[in-house]
Amino acid sequence: MARRSWIERDVVIVACAVSAGIHGALVPEHLDESMGAGLGFVVATVLLAALAVGLTLGIGSTGLVAAVAVFAGLLASYGLAITTGLPLLHPEPEAVDALALATKAVELVGLAAAGHLLLRGRAVALPITPRPKGRTT
């Protein structure tokens, strides 16, 4: 497997882990706002953590498809949350803040890396094997 594929896979894993950590840390704050918002953050945390673990263990293209779906969903949800609000979860638009923008930037990078791996057809061959030494293409 090409070195670039390993790097892209690692980028997706790190993006999932970072986003899971941030969403998890924000659960109490969002539970104080509403049960719906808090549960939304719990679900995001669980999905992202499961993806980070699964991709680390080599679940391949299924995990990458799931990562694309979760990242796209989180990005779209945030877009709605800051413009119109999310019915039942967060009905009023929320203010844009630096942590949210940083999190969305991480998720966008993860989305791009997962999408690129899928488009290049490298997702099928992501087993747990030692990383290649030296330059590969």
pLDDT digits (tens, 9 = 90+) for 66-122: 999 999 999 999 999 999 988 777 778 889 999 999 999 999 999 999 999 999 885
Long-range contacts of range 38-46, CB-CB < 8 Å, 24 or more positions apart? 40/77, 40/86, 40/89, 40/90, 44/19, 44/20, 44/70, 44/74, 45/20
Task: Say what the pTM is.
Answer: 0.84
- Rounded alpha-carbon distances, angstroms, from residue 23 to 62, 119, 131: 23, 28, 30
Q: Residue ranges of the domains in the chain? A: 3-125
Decide which of 63 and 59 is more confident. 63
Confidence of residue 60 (pLDDT cuts 50, 70, 90): confident
The mean per-residue pLDDT over the stretch 131-135 comes to: 58
